[in-house]
Structure 1
Amino acid sequence: MDPLRLVGTWDFHREIQDHRDGVGYTARGTAELTAQDDGRVRWTEHGTLSWAGGSTPVSRTLFLVREPAGVERRWRVTFEDGRDFHPWTAGAVEHPCGLDLYRGGIDVPDEPTPSWELHWRVTGPEKDYTMRTSYSTR
């Protein structure tokens, strides 16, 4: 699943359901995947997070990084500061975050696509929510 196929600008729509307090959140905005000179793909998002009581601007930056040459040239997602997040692969992925655990998946069709999805189920002593993000071409 080559992330270079996704280089470009995408609209995103994210639904978050907090299972602790029953509150639902929605985020909408723009995601941009940009090939970098060092071989990484920069993934930035800017949008607005909304809930029944208001809204706030949100943003994040991730990177997609190729694994070292000896490995099958797979990709990993890292945080902006270089910390590891999860493999960029079809199927289930996991990320421990302190005592909490992110279990999720990436769904990018094999064919050139006008859309793709990312979903997480996060559980633990600090977090309990479900998040689904849909990305679509502009």
Structure 2
Amino acid sequence: MILGAADFLGDWRITREISDFRLRDSGRLEGLARFTAEGDGLRYHESGTLRFAGGAPIRAERGYLWHFTDTDVQVAHADGAPFHSFARTGEPEATPHLCGEDLYRGTYDFSAFPDWQVTWEVQGPRKDYRSVTRYRRA
């Protein structure tokens, strides 16, 4: 199955499980993600509440731009700075992304679409965590 921009348009409930190996802590984000058409791609915006064990709830937001080509999806930060890309077929792995000295490796799983998920493994001198974000139509 090859998914296109129209498949993602609209609202998605999200849950994100975060395992911080450096701090030996875990957190959970619950919120909403929205894909809207923008130019020849999509704008992604998410907002939610993040809770770590014993901590106060934190309001969290982020945004990206998705551009679809014949073979892949190119993902940029909300300001247009490149982030990663992933193939539109097979088991899409994100191209590795170096942020400072921390390396981000991601995998997308669309096998149960319209339910889908993204897993990020981040390792480096400042970060060592895994996050799994699950998406379900709102």
SS of corresponding position for 1:54: coil
**Corresponding residue number in structure 2 for 1:65:** 67
- Normalised to the residue count of structure 2, the TM-score between the two structures is 0.88
Aligned length: 131
Correspondence 1:78-117 to 2 at 5 A: 78-89=76-87, 90-93=91-94, 94-109=96-111, 113-117=113-117
Q: Distance in 2 between matches of 1:116 and 1:22?
A: 27
CA RMSD for the aligned pairs? 1.5
Q: Distance in 2 between matches of 1:84 and 1:119?
A: 19
Change (3 A) 1:3 1:88: farther
* Matched-pair contact (CA < 8 Å) for 2:5–2:41: no
- Normalised to the residue count of structure 1, the TM-score between the two structures is 0.88
Residue ranges of structure 2 left out of the alignment (5+ in a row): none
Which range is displaced more, 81-90 or 10-19?
Answer: 81-90
Q: Distance in 2 between matches of 1:73 and 1:35?
A: 19
Equivalent pairs: percent with the same residue?
34
TM-superposed CA distance for 1:73, in Å, is 5.4
Cα deviation code 1:70-113 (max 9, x no counterpart): xx45320000111111113242221111111001101113x7x3
